[in-house]
Structure 1
Amino acid sequence: MSEIKQVLVDQRARLERKFENERIIERDVPNLKKYLSHPNVLAILGVRRSGKSTLAEMLLRGENFGYINFDDDRLAGIKVEDLHKVEKAIYELFGEVEYFLFDEIQNVEGWELFVNRLREEGKRIIITGSNSKLLSGELATALTGRHINFTLFPFSFSEYLRFKGVKIERIKDTFTTPSEGVIKRELENYMRVGGFPEVLKISEDFIFSIFSDIVYKDVVQRLRIKRIELFKAFAVNVIKYYSNEISLSKLSKTLKLSNNTVEEWFNGLVNAYVIITSERFTNKPREGITSPKKVYVVDPGFISSIALDSSKGRIMENLVALKLSRMGENLFYFKGDNYEIDFFTRDKAIQVTYASGKDEIPKREIEGLNKVKARDKIVITWDYEDKIREINFIPIWKFLLDSND
């Protein structure tokens, strides 16, 4: 019990120092605390180091809450039967708390029933996790709908600007000329370094540490992968497919791995939020299942540093995919005869092209939009803006800064 108390005290002290000494910004998220207005569980999920813990702590500032981070090496090997000791230690140190914050609690096997008991006793609970399987299986059964999950990404472009202290001047949708110049310059930098908070606070080189942590803690350990170096090569290969279709069968032949292994490893990267997939839009279920998926990467920093790529058109498409995902859209692409639509959502058809003028836009992008039915038809460009008939041409920086999430 004394060891657990020491961990709790040390972790609370680190938390307070972080809010005193580090630059903390408001995130572009909905009012998540409303989901705790009744005894409930809020699960903040997302890729490791995206700021989940900080967001959770911001929600509970001013409240008396119990906090423990299970990613602490001193808690390695803690069993579910020890969680009552954690609960008792929290009460002894912080009194009769109403809120609990459990960071990376999925490290404790069988934790779900413990959390459910606290909820049934009237406690309001936030849990964080870096694996999308966190709310599957026993938790979904134990809570029977009494939980809300929210996925947090690394900084968006607007959050990146806020963190950098960049002040933007605009009246409605019109930006001043100096602001527009600053935005474009910062976008170039954002496309290179990405939005992981620690990368922006510490060093661009920190991206490699983040990638290694994710690969090892959130995929290798979970899937008990023994061929670690081969898996790292696989992960880098998958990232290099960003903004493109990927064939897992071809990848299995290239790496001389079984189809089952490749599928398991690929799903491991999806569940760890390293990659997001887009499926082919079709009215034929079998065709949708068998068609290749398109791959997008959770942060542009991985593209430039891990994939060693700087293709602006493809990175732009990746940024659009992340923006749509933040808005809660399921990603689909559409393929017709001799044309493709990059994103086909509930009411939008979107093409992405690296173009600064009308004459630079490939004809196939326009022809594809003319062949599909959609309420909004959009071409995301680098720096060309116009509306021609029913098609809106929007610069990527304006699209990313649109606050209609």
Structure 2
Amino acid sequence: MNEIKQVLLDQKVRLERKLEKERVIERDVPDLKKYLSRPNVLAILGVRRSGKSTLAETLLRGENFGYINFDDDRLAWVKVEDLHKLEKAVYELFGEVEYFLFDEIHNVNGWELFVSRLREEGKKVVITGSNSKMLSGELATALTGRHTDFTLFPFSFSEYLRFKGVRVEKVKDTYTTPSEGVVKRELENYIREGGFPEVLKISEDFIFTIFSDIVYKDVVQRLKIKRVESFKSFTVNVLKYFSNEVSLSKLSKTLKLSNNTVEEWFNGLINAYVIITSERFTSKPREGMTSQKKVYVIDPGFITSIALDSSKGRVMENLVALQLSRVGEKLFYLKGDNYEIDFMVNGKAIQVTYASGKDEIPKREVEGLEKVKAGKKVVITWDYEDEVRGIKFIPLWKFLLNTREYLSVG
């Protein structure tokens, strides 16, 4: 027991020292603390290294809480029957705590009933996890809706600017000229660096460490993949499809893998938040389920450094997909006869194109919008703004900073 207590005490001290030393960036998230006003389980999910632990700790700052990080190699031995020992150690160290914070508790098989019991005993529990399926099983059944989940992404562009100390000056609906110039320059940097906090704090090269950690800890180990090199090749190939439809059958033939293996690996990347997907927009549910999905990468840094691609239009579309997902929109694309709409979101049709002037906008982008019925039609450009025949043209940087405003009705 003394060894367990030493590990837990060390973890808590490290967490507190880390947050004391580092400048914590305010995240653009809703008021998550309200979900802990009574006994409940709050799950903060998202890709590894996106800042979940930091966000969770800031929610509990000022409270007496027990903290256990299950990603610690010193706790690799823990089985579900050992969790009560850790609970006892927390009480002995910190007293009768009201809150618990568990990092990556899904590393312990069968953890769900343990957390459910804590909640039923009146505790407020925050869990973090880097697997999107961790709430789909026994916990969801055990809690019968008595849990709340929130997905955290790497820094958005507005959070990136906050990290860089860039203040955007806006007078009524107009940005000042110096602010606009700085923001456009920083957008180029954001596309190159991405939004992983540690990459921005340590080095751009740290993106490779993060990528390796995610691949091995959240996919290879979880799925018990033995053909590691084949999986790495598969993953890079999938990333290169960003902002495009992906054919799993073609991938299986190209990489000489079975269809089942490719499907399992592809879903593994989704569950680890390496990629997100967009489904085909259709009135026929079966068609939507069987159609090819479009792929988007969780961070622009992975596109630049891992996929080694800087195609501006596709990168822009990827950024828009991430931003729409951040604000809670489910992604759909529309494919018609001789046209395609990048995003159909809640009655709105959105195209993305790399254009800085009216003459640079491909006719197909506008013609596609004119063929669909939508409550609002938007073209997101690189640096062109106007409204023509009911179609609103918005520069990417403005859309990223004012997403909810541009998605609002009217």
TM-score category, normalised to shorter length: over 0.9
Partners of 1:113 and 1:285 in 2: CA distance:
35
Identity of aligned residues (%): 83
In 1, the alpha carbon distance for the partners of 2:388 and 2:338 equals: 23
Moved more, 357-366 or 167-176: 167-176
Q: Bigger shift: 3-12 or 118-127?
A: 3-12
Q: Does 1:52 align with 2:60?
A: no
Asked if the contact 2:44–2:127 (Cα under 8 Å) also holds between the matched residues in 1, the reply is: yes
**Corresponding residue number in structure 1 for 2:177:** 177
Whole-angstrom CA distance in 2 between matches of 1:372 and 1:62: 52
**In structure 2, C-alpha distance between the alignment counterparts of 1:286 and 1:143, rounded to whole Å:** 31
In the alignment, what sits opposite 2:360? 360
Measured after TM superposition, the shift of residue 403 of structure 1 is 5.5
Amino acid at match of 1:72: D
* Partner Cα distance (2:28, 2:209) in 1: 26
Residues 323 and 403 in structure 2, CA contact (< 8 A), matched pair in contact too: no
Q: Distance in 2 between matches of 1:404 and 1:64?
A: 36
Gaps in structure 2 of 5+ consecutive residues: 406-410
For the residues of structure 2 that align with 1:285 and 1:81, how far apart are their CA atoms?
Answer: 43
Indicate if the aligned counterparts of 2:354 and 2:382 stay in contact, CA closer than 8 A.
Answer: yes
What secondary structure does 1:307 align onto? coil
- Secondary structure, counterpart of 1:132 in structure 2: coil
Q: TM-score, normalised by structure 1?
A: 0.99
After TM superposition, the structure 1 stretch with the greater mean CA deviation from structure 2, 315-324 or 79-88, is 79-88
1:19 aligns to what?
A: 19
Q: Amino acid of the residue matched to residue 140 of structure 1? A: A
TM superposition shift of 1:137: 1.3
Whole-Å Cα distance in 1 between the matches of residues 292 and 252 of structure 2? 14
Displacement after TM superposition at 1:171 (Å): 1.4
Work out the CA distance in 2 between the residues paired with 1:37 and 1:290: 42
Structure 2: distance between partners of 1:51 and 1:173: 32
TM-score normalised by the chain length of structure 2: 0.98
Residue correspondence of structure 1 range 2-401 to structure 2 within 5 A:
2-401=2-401
Secondary structure, aligned partner of 1:367: helix
CA distance in 2, matches of 1:297, 1:329: 16
Deviations 1:330-357 (A, max 9, x none): 1000011100000001121000000000
Per-residue CA deviation, residues 231-276 of structure 1 (Å, 9 max, x unaligned), is: 0000000000000000000000000000000000000000000000
- Measured after TM superposition, the shift of residue 376 of structure 1 is 1.0
Cα separation, 1, equivalents of 2:98 and 2:123: 5
Q: Helix, strand or coil for the counterpart of 1:133?
A: coil
Distance (whole Å) between structure 1 residues aligned to residue 195 and residue 83 of structure 2: 34
SS at structure 1 position matched to 2:133: helix
Could you tell me which amino acid in structure 2 is paired with residue 227 of structure 1?
R
Task: Kindly state the Cα deviation for residue 20 of structure 1 after the two structures are TM-superposed.
Answer: 1.5
Please report how far the alpha carbon of residue 12 of structure 1 lies from its aligned counterpart in structure 2 after TM superposition: 1.1
Letter in 1 for 2:178: P
Q: In 2, distance between residues paired with 1:136 and 1:234?
A: 26
Structure 1: which amino acid aligns with 2:362? P
Tell me the distance in 1 between the aligned counterparts of 2:378 and 2:297: 22
Maintained 8 Å contact 2:277/2:331 = yes
- Shift >3 Å, 4+ stretches: none
Partner amino acid, structure 2, of 1:259? N
Q: What CA distance in whole angstroms lies between the structure 2 residues aligned with 1:384 and 1:403?
A: 17
Write out per-residue CA displacement over residues 59-88 of structure 1, whole angstroms, 9 at most, x where no aligned residue.
000111111100001000201111111111
Q: State the one-letter code of the partner of 2:352.
A: V
CA contact (8 A) 2:50 2:155 kept: yes
In structure 2, what is the Cα distance between the partners aligned to 1:66 and 1:348? 45
How far apart in 1 are the matches of 2:384 and 2:124?
48
For residues 174 and 121 of structure 1, what CA distance do their matches in structure 2 show? 53
Q: What stretches of structure 1 of length at least 5 have no aligned partner?
A: none
